[in-house]
Structure 1
Amino acid sequence: MNTSATSSRPPVLFLSHGAPPLVDSALWVDQLTRLGADLPRPTAVLVISAHWEAAPLTIGSTDVSTPLTYDFWGFPERYYRTTYDSPGAPELAARVAAMMPDGEPIAHDPNRRLDHGAYVPLTVMYPDADIPVLQISLPTLDPERLLALGRRLAPLRDEGVLIIGSGFTTHGLPYLTDRTPDAVPPGWSAEFDDWAHGCFDRGDVESLLDFRRKAPGMPYAHPTIEHFSPLFVSLGASGDPEQPAGQPIDGFWMGLAKRSLVLN
């Protein structure tokens, strides 16, 4: 990976990645395709997904021969046949490790490659799978610590690395009574999404950090918080968490808010 500064400094993204069937949504695919086309071509992609919690910070496989992580159950067989043979990113892995504080342990998992929180959106944004991709774990769910992690990773953007936090703006799966793609969003999902929309518009990081107490629709919108947590890595990596965020994707899928962000 070229570690010199690049004039094509990518923004940071927070993507509501959905389940594997979200790729069957023509609207979402169109929105995400257009978003990818508007970005400068990255030198590499670094993904922090809601689907990998591991402490200490763990760096995934850089070997393209490592199979994808099919971390979902009960779907049609065709979703388990998806491939995404993007190049590995060993140099990026070394850079990430070097950015962590002295004395802080770093782990490596050579058997874990991209999970669906990473590869599902990438199959839409970069379908040729010709950009190196690395996934690292969520080492904590504490918003302040994740914000600090994002700040440490921010210099990678000057090297052309696209940093993606992949989660979901609402993720109350246990409370969905209608799981069809065009389901009317439950009140808790719509209320949380409206609140988040306002916070993103205002750059209200203080409220976002305290979302478990301040957001309407809780705890139904996030009975577990891992799907909102990657947002804080993205905010930290933006360099200015209080900036108004671009929100190129909104609306609902299966009643869940798929609002996604672009942070410059």
Structure 2
Amino acid sequence: MQIFKGLKQFTVSGINQLSFKASIDKVLFDFSKREPSIHENIECISYHIPKTAGTSLRLSLDHAYHANSVHGAYKESGAKELSRGDNIWLPNKTKVIHGHFRTHVNHYQYFPNAKHIVWVRDPIERAWSLLGHLLAVKPNTPHFNLLKSRYIDKGILNKAKLFQCVVKDVELSNQFFVYHSYFKQISIDKFNFVGSMHNMNNDFTRLSDVLGKTLIVENQNRRTSAKDLPTEAKRLEKFFANEYEIVASYLNK
């Protein structure tokens, strides 16, 4: 029963439903406790930093490669393992891995033929959008619960005020300052492609050339843009200095 429970979590969190054959293969693989093989068929690894064009890119990859060839690596479908440098099981038809996982040098070993791609966004704009997402969906996570108990429950409801609080709060700011951790093992200049949310149409054309596939901007799910940022948020730029140092030359703003 535990195996089937894990399979259900894997399927749902991975976005794309596994075929019947792939489901059986997954169950048998888990039961056998074998080590995953080297995935020479993987053509692209897409590192999805939260609030950086993930929806648009995922839809485009689905159409370019077909949905059953794109594996979503999230909480229960491989993201944790990939972030710590472990190999993972993948359906046989997988050509692309896309999800919220950090870089790791072991990815070169497990996926020797894959091109590494990533999208970036202005650090303050990304953080502001992430806060908006958290306030909108109110996830039952330790991170949001801490934000709620420490600030929201004490009457701090204004988004700009909350933003100042979380940016200055060491326990909460780790999700708002992410570029250093995402590019810790593989630096951004080693990527085959770095796209900017501020230049999406041109960069999708450039990505098409890199992957040899026709990619179209399917949807731009942007919770906020630069024009929505209040003055109070813009004044916090000094707190994002390390973030800008990593991505500034790729933003094309």
- What TM-score comes out, normalization by structure 2 length? 0.24
Q: Which has the higher helix share?
A: 2
Bigger relative contact order (CA 8 A; separation at least 6): 1
